[in-house]
Amino acid sequence: MIPSPPLHHVGIVQPSEEDAATLMAIMGLQEDYRGFVPQWSALCIFTKAASGSPIEFVVPDGGPLARFNKGAGGLHHIALQVADLDAVARDLEAQEMKLLEPEHVKGAGPFMCNFLSPIYTRGVQIEYVQLLEP
> Other CB atoms closer than 10 Å to residue 27's CB: what's the count?
10
Ordered per-residue pLDDT tens for the chain, 134 residues: 456 789 999 999 999 999 999 999 999 999 999 999 999 999 999 999 877 889 999 999 988 899 888 889 999 999 999 999 999 999 999 999 999 999 999 999 999 999 998 999 998 999 999 999 87
The letter for the amino acid at 87 is: A
CA distance linking residue 116 with residue 65, whole number of Å: 16
Contacts for 52 with CB less than 8 Å, ≥ 6 apart: 7
Residue pair 110/131 in contact (Cβ under 8 Å)? The answer is yes
pTM of the predicted model as reported, rounded to 2 decimal places: 0.90
Where in the chain are the domains?
A: 7-131
Query: For domain 7-131, which CATH number applies: 3.40.50.720, 3.10.180.10, 3.40.50.2300, 3.40.190.10?
Result: 3.10.180.10
CA distance linking residue 119 with residue 124, whole number of Å: 8
